[in-house]
Structures are given as structure tokens and as C-alpha cells.
């Protein structure tokens, strides 16, 4: 069951304020919490989009973490690359994960539905 974002953020903030978490060198707790909340929310939204594809394609739940790892890698790439460069990198990762045993059609659907990226 997904955790409530407010609960996760409250726990993280308590750790930061107690000195048990690593504070960014050039920031405040408030700024770091804002960044953490945005990143956590983005990750949850990405996971939900990928999960929709996996459920629609009847992928066994034991394989879900591998597809999520593929999606997280594409997400990181989308922050550094764009356009044709992103498409080529995504294709390379699709081939890599397909060679490791994941279904290429499902990986393509993740690219299209979660990232609006046609391969």
C-alpha cells in the first residue's frame, strides 16, 4: 500500500532536524524538504504510470521491480538528454533490458505511455 507523502516527508524532516540525515551543503532544511517532496511525488507518479502498463499487460508482479528500474533509468536520462539523443539512449536501454529477459513490447509501452517517447 502506498505511503502518504505527508507522512514520509514528516519522517524525513524529523531526521534532518535531529541531525540523523545529511543536510545539503548550500541549503536549508526547508529547501531540502521542498526538493524531497517534489522528487518523492514525481517518483510516485512515475511508478503509477508504469504500474498501469504492467497491470494492463498482465506482467507478473515478481517482475515489476525490473520494469520499475528500467523506468527510473529512463527518467534519469530524460533529465540529461532530449530529442533524438534521448530516443537513442532509451532504445539502447530497451535492448539491454530485453536481453536480460524483460518483454520488449512492454518496455516499448512504458516508453510511450509513461514518457511519451516513441521508439
Residue the block writes with cell 539512449? 89
Does pTM top 0.75 for this prediction?
A: yes
Closest CA to 87 of 96, 99, 78: 78
- Lowest average pLDDT, out of 13-22, 39-48, 85-94, goes to 13-22
Closest CA to 93 of 79, 83, 34, 110: 110
pLDDT per residue as tens digits for the range 6-41 = 888 888 888 888 888 777 777 788 888 888 899 999
Question: What grid cell was written down for 44?
Answer: 510516485
Q: Mean per-residue pLDDT for 56-78? A: 94
Amino acid at each position: 500500500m502506498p505511503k502518504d507523502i505527508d507522512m514520509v516527508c514528516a519522517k524525513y524532516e524529523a531526521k534532518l532536524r535531529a541531525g540523523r540525515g545529511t543536510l545539503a551543503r548550500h541549503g536549508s532544511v526547508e529547501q531540502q524538504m521542498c526538493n524531497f517532496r517534489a522528487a518523492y511525488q514525481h517518483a510516485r507518479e512515475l511508478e503509477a504510470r508504469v504500474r498501469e502498463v504492467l497491470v494492463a499487460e498482465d506482467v507478473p508482479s515478481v517482475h515489476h521491480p525490473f520494469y520499475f528500474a528500467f523506468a527510473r533509468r529512463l527518467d534519469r536520462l530524460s533529465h540529461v538528454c532530449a530529442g533524438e539523443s534521448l530516443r537513442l539512449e532509451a532504445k539502447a536501454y530497451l535492448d539491454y533490458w530485453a536481453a536480460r529477459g524483460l518483454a520488449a513490447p512492454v518496455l516499448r509501452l512504458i516508453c510511450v505511455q509513461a514518457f511519451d517517447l516513441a521508439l
